[in-house]
Amino acid sequence: MTNAATLEATSSLEKRLRATDIKPQIASRVELSKEQLLSGEYAADLRELLERRGVLVFKEVNFTDAEQVAFTKTIGEFLPEMEGQEVYNITLDPKLNAKSDYLKGSLYWHADGTMNKVPIGSAILTSHVLPTWGGNTEFCNTYAAYELLSEADKNLVEGLKAMHSAWTSLFYYDPEPSYEKLMDMIRIGEVELPLVWKHRTGRKSLVLGCTTHHVIGMDATESAKLLVRLRDWATQPDFVYSHEWSVGDAVMWDNTGTMHRAMPYDPNCGRLLHRTKTAGEEPIQ
């Protein structure tokens, strides 16, 4: 397609979805009604827009859990949690989630399921209890971050791989863990992933986040410099959308072309989001 044809296709897609850009490089607000979203009629359009924009925001759409599950199923293959839950409580409050400790890693830039053979495809969060302070969810567009790298940096990262592990993220929130805790996280395993994901669509995105330990074959200091510089680049304000929650909001992200994090909040304030997910469709390669 020519540029003009692409622009026209984009604007008719956005018209059908009643979608408007929130920021030039990331996130669209979609103002379809709940009934329209649940009908499944717009699912292919929503998937296309999600891939282009990284994040779709449905302000105060007020899905019930059953509606959130039904909507998620229109977007892709529904993926329950490992313990079987369809809808997962995202909260740092141990009374609401027995594994809330593990969620402390979500305060740092990451994508979901990086350690899986195939990472999560997309995910939806809905807001049920607001934080007393902080607690925005931030998203960055890792497609835009790759596409706007300098040619020199594109050449530099091409072909590089990094070691990822859950235990790396442990040190972000528990800098002096017990040996037992470290071993628990080490048992989750390690994977080598490319710094640049070549998607089957032909598009490329950066693969970073708090599971990234080091670049394979690189001196420790050089590796840290490169990984921090790339994370800094990918999370610069132009590539980031920060969502301030209202109760009833639903936010969906393309987990294959974005990273996200929770901003700090009072862990005892009851902040509660409900998450559903779709299965990924391709490994990181």
- Contact residues: ligand OGA, CB under 6 A: 90, 106, 112, 125, 137, 260, 262, 273, 275
- Contact predicate 91/267, CB 8 Å: no
Q: Rank residues 106 and 127 by Cβ distance to Mn ion and give the closer one.
A: 106
Smallest distance from ligand OGA to CB 120, Å: 8
- Contact predicate 137/263, CB 8 Å: yes
Q: Rank residues 36 and 97 by Cβ distance to ligand OGA and give the closer one.
A: 97
Q: Rank residues 112 and 254 by Cβ distance to Mn ion and give the closer one.
A: 112
> CA 37 to CA 49: how far, in whole Å?
14
| Per-residue mark of binding to Mn ion, 91-110 (x: CB under 5 A) | ---------------x----
> CA 285 to CA 196: how far, in whole Å?
8
Q: Which of 19, 54, 71, 112 binds Mn ion (CB under 5 A)?
A: 112
Residue 125 binds which one of Mn ion, ligand OGA, none, with CB within 5 to 8 A depending on kind?
Answer: ligand OGA
# residues contacting Mn ion (CB under 5 A) = 2
Q: Rank residues 206 and 226 by Cβ distance to ligand OGA and give the closer one.
A: 206
Residue 273 binds which one of Mn ion, ligand OGA, none, with CB within 5 to 8 A depending on kind?
Answer: ligand OGA
Smallest distance from ligand OGA to CB 127, Å: 9
Q: Rank residues 207 and 262 by Cβ distance to ligand OGA and give the closer one.
A: 262
> CA 154 to CA 147: how far, in whole Å?
9
Contact between 249 and Mn ion per CB under 5 A: no
82, burial (CB in 10 Å: exposed 0-12, middle 13-18, buried 19+):
exposed
Place of tokens 């969906």: 252
> CA 239 to CA 25: how far, in whole Å?
6
Contact between 254 and Mn ion per CB under 5 A: no
Sorted by sequence, the CB contacts under 8 Å of residue 123 that are 6+ apart come out as 112, 252, 253, 255, 275, 276, 277, 278
> CA 87 to CA 235: how far, in whole Å?
28
Which residues contact Mn ion (rule: CB under 5 A)?
A: 106, 112
